[in-house]
Amino acid sequence: MRSALRTAIACLLAVALVALFLRNADFAKVWGAIGSARMDLIALAVLMTLATYVVRTQRWQYLLEPLGPTRFGMVFRATIIGFAASAVLPAKIGEFVRPYLLARREGLSATATFATILLERMLDLVTVLLLLAAYLVWFDPGMAVRDSALFEAIRLGGLVMAPAALGVLIVMFLLARDPARSQAWLGFAYRWLPGRAASLLSRIVGRMSEGFGVLRRPERLMASLGWSFVMWIIIAAETWVVALAFGIPMPFTGAWLMTALLVVGVAVPVPGGVGAFHEAFRLGSTAFFGAENDAAIAAAIVLHATSFAPVTILGFYFAAREGLNVKGMKQMTREPVEIEAGA
């Protein structure tokens, strides 16, 4: 019942966001813009999407290395399946599906593998913030800002999130560097919990510390951060290429600013960022790069399709080969903790 309620809320939110996105659309002009877009650039954007998942896989293997050996093919399939699940199911379910699936296939701890996903998200946040900072500090914006309040909000958001991300990374580093001391720091929490719950929390914290193991190896961490920059530069390039396909005068470095907006859109808990991703692109391209509203709407629709459709199709193909369906994916959101509890 609770899951059905969450799904209903997510769907209603997505509908509201799509309505917001399309509120001033002239559908004939939107369709005309899609029909006249450069298909060669859109095809290039699809290839860029697939390239990002190869890079994601390589980076995840670097983060997983302290937990044990993994096969590139299996890590790639788990990554694709996880992102496909998040594209069609609410609450970012894929972030639980892919670590559990990989742990089951490669004999790793599910909780420790999930910890590497948390580390991934922090690396993503740090990378996007650094690209945003580079754009704001060193590069000519190359735009006539129509909405200065939005621009200042983005600047302020970056200033707030940067120390927050740094703080989370420090906590992860401390957990990885000295698990015993971390357990001691959490001793006060254990005293307030029933014995079974305290024991479970202690095991989970210990497994999470294992998942942050790459932080004990600076060279592995720097390699992971390097792959993060490669991945996000490709993502920004895809945004830029789609903008060019629709004649939107966005400089390549301007796509770094757009990427920060799109990350916020994708973070909204609706399947595949539907509505939120679209509105983030429309808002940014019209406010910062002088795009016409209907061209921005058309470009947003196509960018979302090139970003999510290939991985969703491929992900459900891989899931079928693994014997997984949507119900099985939802079950995986609970199984990792249950397994650790029984360890």
Token pair for 74: 């299996």
- pLDDT digit string (tens) for 177-198? 666 665 555 555 555 555 555 4
For 291, residues 6+ apart whose C-beta sits below 8 A from its C-beta are 243, 246, 248, 249, 250, 285, 299
- pLDDT digit string (tens) for 40-99? 999 999 999 999 999 999 999 989 988 889 999 999 999 999 999 988 887 688 888 999
Q: Can you give the pLDDT of all 343 residues of the chain as single tens digits?
A: 566 777 788 888 889 999 999 999 999 999 999 999 999 999 999 999 999 999 999 999 989 988 889 999 999 999 999 999 988 887 688 888 999 999 989 999 888 898 899 889 988 988 998 888 888 777 655 555 565 677 777 777 777 777 777 777 777 776 666 666 655 555 555 555 555 554 545 556 666 666 677 777 777 778 888 999 999 999 999 999 999 999 999 999 999 999 999 998 888 888 888 999 999 999 999 988 889 999 999 999 999 999 999 999 999 999 999 888 777 776 766 554 444 434 4
Residue located via tokens 């942050």: 212
SS3 string, 134-147, reads: HHHHHCCCCCCCCC
Q: Report d(CA 299, CA 290) in Å as an integer.
A: 13
CA atoms within 13 A on the CB side of 15: 6
According to the model, what pLDDT value does residue 239 have? 97
- Of 272, 268, 328, 323, nearest to 88 by C-alpha is 272
Q: Is 64 exposed, middle or buried (0-12, 13-18, 19+ CB in 10 A)?
A: buried
Give start and end residues of each alpha helix (H) in 178-275. 179-185, 187-191, 195-211, 218-245, 254-267
Q: What are phi and psi of 296, to 5 degrees?
A: -65, -40
Coil, helix or strand at residue 38: coil
